[in-house]
Amino acid sequence: MYHSIFASEVIELEGNIEENNIKILAALNKFAEGSVKFSKKTKGFKYHYTNPWYSRYSFDIYLGEFAKRDNVSIIRIEAPKYGMEKSFRNYFKEELQKKDAMGVGSATTTTPEDKIEKLEKNLISYLRD
């Protein structure tokens, strides 16, 4: 299957890559209802998350280590339509920077359902174009 990339976004994420892997997978599964899968085609990154062919949305998320800084990961977000990658970026920024059980991170008043609904609305608007 041929897959074109029309838009991408890169963000940095503080923390250990293995911990970030768990956080990203949890955030994606929350949105994609457990249908996220790992791919061996990592393009030089350590992890690659993608969705099944029958999924409503198309995305490729890569997670790798930032060579110039310790304890920092890089997330590359790829999407087939311009703007979708920004929706995923905003979702990740909100979801991955919220307060964890130890009180680390920033507090958020947005519920997980609101964040997912906002992401879905944004992605659907790009699918209509």
Q: Give me the chain's average pLDDT, please.
A: 77
CA distance 1 to 127: 20
pTM of the model: 0.72
pLDDT digits (tens, 9 = 90+) for 24-75: 888 888 877 767 888 888 888 999 998 877 777 788 899 999 777 788 899 9
User: What CATH architecture applies to the domain 7-128?
Assistant: 2-Layer Sandwich (3.30)
**SS3 for 33-70, per residue?**
CCCCEECCCCCCCCEEEECCCCCCCCCEEEEEECCCCC
For the cut 60, the answer to whether the pLDDT of residue 104 exceeds it is: no
